[in-house]
């Protein structure tokens, strides 16, 4: 309790110190308008609070919104010839992306309530027949597939619970125990890059691309990212098999789930299938993906597949955390601070050098802070770069992927933290394996990504 109070006090001191400093002295040495100085202060305060986690991450989002309305908006409208209203900052909190995530969270709750996720995962495990390397691959496939559609954090928690009885049967001295634990968060992190709803950085990337006139459908995103996801999963599998060999170990397969598959289970499957198809064909139907996300929300609660309690238990903190990042991007855009920051980057070099620099920055930031916050900070900065549309799209996809592939520390992502809390692995195990994956991801994104994405864009258009 005392520690929590100290962290809250530190956050309060930081907030008021930033406000007083900017109002009294501005930002010395920077040629910024007062609105841009305020936006920079909000950005710095949010970044420090996101990294330090002195207060809950969703609270930072509400702080961003409050500061934008009561501090930034009056200062901006005082000098601007085109004043803006508060709804500019409110809109990210109920945007198309938030509805998309809400639909994904409802599907996640639906799959967990009717045991569809466990049935699917156990089906994978049964097919591996106790062979350690194949069981490891089966768990990786199950985790990555589920993470393409539902929360990475929820998938990690569910899969770790299901696999832990298997882990307990492995002798302590056998290093393969660590492989089974590490594969779950890493596969969940990597699986999230495969679909627009897989992880918040994808949603942030899609939001900015859509706002700037790019057409990235559900299917096009999968075409851009799925090959990388498959390659990284294979790298993860082989890396874990070699770093943590099983020896002569033979695994026991858990018993099959024997619950009755009734009408509501089939209804849940139907809702999942229709929603997934809706996301695939949303552009052809003339619907936004967020609009499709309303379907499972309405149907599940209308017909009693989910209860009001299930609605209350949805991860609302994640939704508001994403919203705060989007609201911060709005402030960077309307005040022009994003363009000022971009002008400080080495843009005179080649686009390739820029990609190397920004991808490295995104990877480093995501290693020590929220992937969502990193995407919210970095992606808006590159949207107005004076490059061809094809390169901007490739750059944004590269940054979104790097945000999800930085996983060297227990604090890098919530799935990492959950796996580390199991006490079956040490931080050095995660640093070694996660660091290697991050480096491999950076090399693939920087050197293989641009020509591949250019090929896909030439086929599917921008």
Q: What percent of the chain has pLDDT over 70?
A: 93
pLDDT at 232: 92
Decide if pLDDT at 166 tops 80. no
Contact (Cβ atoms closer than 8 angstroms) between residue 186 and residue 423: no
Band (342; pLDDT cuts 50, 70, 90)? low
Instruction: Tell me the C-alpha distance between 42 and 32, whole Å.
Output: 14
pLDDT at 76 over 60: yes
Crossing angle of the two packed helices 34-52 and 57-67, in degrees rounded to 10: 170
Structure tokens at 57: 């991450």
Q: What value does the mean pLDDT take over residues 79-101?
A: 84
Contact between 405 and 193 (Cβ < 8 Å): yes
Confidence grade of residue 270 (pLDDT, cut at 50, 70, 90) = very high
- Average pLDDT of every residue of the chain: 84
Q: What is the DSSP letter of 260?
A: -
Calculate mean pLDDT across residues 279-284. 73
Query: Is the predicted pLDDT of residue 369 greater than 70, yes or no?
Result: no
Q: What pLDDT sits at residue 338?
A: 72
Q: What is the pLDDT of residues 6-44, one digit of tens each?
A: 889 999 999 999 999 999 998 888 888 999 999 999 988
- pLDDT bucket at 94, cuts 50 / 70 / 90: confident
Q: How confident is the model at residue 162 (pLDDT cuts 50, 70, 90)?
A: confident
Residue with tokens 């309060």: 12
Does the pLDDT of residue 163 top 90, yes or no?
A: no
pTM: 0.71
Taking residues 256-279, what's their average pLDDT? 83
pLDDT of 110 > 80? The answer is yes
Is the per-residue pLDDT at 72 higher than 90? yes
Q: How confident is the model at residue 370 (pLDDT cuts 50, 70, 90)?
A: low
**DSSP characters for 108-157?**
HHHHHHTTHHHHHHHHHHHHHTT-HHHHHHHHHHHHHHHHTTS-HHHHHH
Q: Are 182 and 135 in contact (CB under 8 A)?
A: no
Higher-pLDDT residue of 188 and 319 is 188
Say what percent of the chain tops pLDDT 90: 28
Q: Which of 444, 434, 427 is nearest to 183 (CA)?
A: 434
The pLDDT of residue 36: 92
Mind listing the pLDDT tens digit for each residue in 167-191? 877 888 888 989 989 999 999 999 9
In this prediction, residue 257 has a pLDDT band, given cuts at 50, 70 and 90, of low
């Amino acid at each position: 309790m005392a520690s929590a109070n100290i962290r809250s006090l530190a956050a309060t001191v930081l907030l008021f110190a930033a406000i007083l400093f900017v109002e009294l002295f501005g930002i010395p040495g920077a040629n910024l308008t007062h609105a841009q100085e305020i936006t920079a202060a909000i950005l710095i305060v949010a970044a420090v609070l996101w990294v330090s986690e002195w207060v809950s991450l969703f609270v930072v989002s509400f702080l961003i919104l409050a500061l934008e309305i009561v501090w930034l908006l009056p200062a901006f409208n005082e000098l601007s010839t085109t004043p803006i209203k508060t709804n500019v900052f409110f809109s990210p909190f109920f945007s198309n992306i938030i509805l998309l995530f809400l639909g994904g969270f409802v599907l996640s709750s639906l799959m967990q309530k009717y045991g569809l996720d466990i049935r699917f995962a156990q089906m994978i495990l049964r097919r591996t027949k106790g062979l350690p390397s194949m069981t490891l691959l089966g768990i990786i496939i199950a985790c990555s597939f589920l993470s393409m559609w539902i929360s990475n954090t929820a998938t990690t928690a569910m899969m770790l619970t299901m696999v832990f009885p298997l882990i307990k049967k492995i002798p302590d001295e056998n290093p393969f125990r660590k492989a089974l634990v590490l594969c779950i968060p890493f596969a969940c992190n990597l699986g999230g890059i495969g679909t627009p709803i897989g992880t918040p950085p994808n949603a942030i990337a899609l939001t900015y691309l859509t706002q700037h006139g790019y057409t990235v459908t559900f299917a096009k995103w999968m075409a851009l990212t799925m090959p990388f996801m498959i390659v990284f999963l294979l790298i993860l599998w082989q890396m874990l098999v070699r770093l943590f060999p099983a020896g002569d170990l033979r695994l026991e397969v858990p018993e099959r789930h024997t619950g009755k598959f009734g009408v509501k289970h089939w209804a849940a499957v139907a809702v999942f299938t229709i929603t997934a198809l809706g996301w695939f064909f949303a552009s052809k139907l003339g619907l936004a993906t967020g609009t499709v996300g309303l379907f499972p929300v309405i149907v599940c609660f209308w017909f009693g597949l989910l209860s009001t309690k299930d609605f209350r238990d949805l991860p609302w903190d994640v939704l508001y955390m994403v919203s705060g990042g989007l609201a911060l991007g709005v402030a960077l855009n309307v005040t022009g601070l994003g363009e000022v920051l971009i002008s400080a980057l080495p843009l005179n070099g080649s686009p390739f050098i820029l990609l190397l620099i920004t991808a490295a920055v995104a990877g480093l930031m995501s290693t020590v802070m929220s992937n969502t916050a990193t995407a919210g900070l970095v992606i808006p900065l590159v949207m107005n770069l004076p490059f061809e549309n094809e390169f901007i799209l490739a750059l944004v996809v590269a940054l979104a992927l790097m945000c999800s592939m930085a996983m060297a520390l227990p604090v890098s992502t919530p799935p990492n933290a959950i796996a580390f809390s199991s006490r079956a692995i040490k931080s050095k195990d995660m640093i070694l394996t996660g660091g290697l994956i991050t480096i491999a991801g950076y090399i693939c994104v920087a050197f293989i990504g641009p020509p591949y994405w250019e090929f896909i864009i030439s086929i599917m258009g921008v």
